[in-house]
Amino acid sequence: MNHKQHTIKAPVTVSGIGLHTGVVSNMTFKPAPVNHGYKFQRIDLPGQPIVAADVDNVVDLSRGTTIEQNGARVNTVEHTLAALVGLQIDNVLIELDGPEPPIMDGSSIDFLRALQSVGLEEQNAQRNYFDITQGITYKDDSRGVEIVALPLDDYRLTVMVDYNSPVLGSQHASITNIEQFEDEIASCRTFVFLHELEALYKQNLIKGGDLDNAIVIVDRVVQDEELDYLSDLLKKPKVEVKEEGILNNTELRFKNEPARHKLLDLMGDLALIGRPIKGQILAARPGHAANIAFARKVKKAIQEANVKNVPVYDPKKPPVMDINQIAAMLPHRYPFLLIDKIIHLDESSVTGIKNVTMNEPFFQGHFPGNPIMPGVLQIEAMAQTGGILVLSSVDNPDDYWTYLLAIDKCRFKRKVLPGDTIIFKCELLAPLKRGIAKMFGQAFVGGQVVLEAEMSAMIVKKDA
């Protein structure tokens, strides 16, 4: 899985008819800056409103996932979003001149190929993964639906579908690595049962549905008269049932293509959480309603974690910057280089690690019988963490000095002792202006805040 955020190198457009609206539209993927996420823009509407791909914006789940914001609606977003997730693209603006993305062949493969044709671009920011640290479960006993997320330092999905159909039977699909999406999931098409077709048409849905963009599963005996009726309904000269129970369709791309498409839908719907996930997702009989209900539970877990605001430090993971890289950027040296690792760095925030040991030189004279890390050195370590953030904003950090200008609202919450691991987090309170940065910093030990303060710093060219 990628460590850095990615966008695309250039705009690319796909065109076609919408599955449910039947409206032909052009959809253009455009590069976007870090932390932008996925956003749709209805350029056909007055003011060209933007609709964020967010589970809070879901307004309809009639055979697809529809989002709405700022008076604009976008139908059936899941196949588009699945392609972005599968390629590990984090930031893109999706311009749309109609109400619905093109259905293409009913899968995500055409979106994936279009995005690949312009190439991906790595961005200078870490991916903001949400690590599943404890089980999250959604159940609907009335429909036999269950979706569970379990802790895992990777991205794995397993889906089981069972429609009591003699054609489909019980099917399973899974990916154990996100890179499998392109070859094993992206080309799997949407499907519908024959008995659902007429009802969907009467509900004013699948206006753009066609035997070229959906698999129609025939799970009962069909008379010639009904086939003639279906020919008129689907505007086809002839409709017939294949031996394997598929209506007028080409061969299935996989024996379990329907289950694989349900996995594709799940990936697309979970994109509405707003962050890439690290975890294992197990889903029994999922559908859009269950996917979105589950996504809302995951987003709630994210919000609860954000309230705690405690960065997650896994010492097994490689740091963004090790001690040698830190020393190459900061001028400090022993005994005043107080940061051991940088584990997160983007344009507006940074997280650093300090391992406190009894061997620290300040313990020789600072309360020798009661060793406590001096508060001023905690502030210094947090300022050095913030210095990494400020210096990373310029092209040649070696050419600059960083000076601390002010410390405000400083509060020490508890003692820091030998054996503690301090996690420092600094966030910009406003964009850098004329070389001056104002940051809010916090220090955590064991999940508890030990220090917080607002700091102002300035970067100055060494030859100035």
Per-residue pLDDT at 252: 84
**pLDDT category, 303, cuts 50, 70, 90?**
confident
Cβ(273)–Cβ(267) below 8 Å: no
Residues designated catalytic:
288, 366
DSSP 319: P
Which of 172-181, 278-287, 359-368 shows the lowest per-residue confidence on average (mean pLDDT)?
Answer: 359-368
Per-residue pLDDT at 298: 96
Mean pLDDT of the chain: 89
Per-residue pLDDT at 246: 67
The end-to-end CA distance of the chain, in Å, is 43
Whether 4-186+257-308 and 323-461 share one fold: the answer is no
Cβ(45)–Cβ(90) below 8 Å: no
Which of 74-83, 332-341, 391-400 shows the lowest per-residue confidence on average (mean pLDDT)?
Answer: 391-400
Q: Is the pLDDT of residue 307 over 60?
A: no
What is the distance between the alpha carbons of residues 307 and 378, in angstroms, rounded to a whole number? 23
From the CA atom positions of the chain, what is the Rg in Å? 27
Strand, helix or coil for residue 194: helix
* DSSP strand pairing (277-284 vs 155-162): parallel
Q: Is the pLDDT of residue 338 over 60?
A: yes
Q: Which CATH code, of 1.10.10.10, 3.30.230.20, 3.40.50.800, 2.40.40.20, is assigned to 4-186+257-308?
A: 3.30.230.20
Helix (H) or strand (E) segment spanning residue 115: helix 109-118
**pLDDT category, 269, cuts 50, 70, 90?**
very high
Burial class (CB in 10 A: 0-12, 13-18, 19+), 44: middle
Count CB atoms within 10 A of the CB of residue 129: 17
Which of 185-199, 230-244, 260-274, 316-330 shows the lowest per-residue confidence on average (mean pLDDT)?
Answer: 230-244
**Topology of the domain comprising 323-461:** Thiol Ester Dehydrase; Chain A (3.10.129)
- Domain boundaries defined on the chain: 4-186+257-308, 323-461
Quickly tell me which residue has 């064991």 as its tokens. Answer: 446
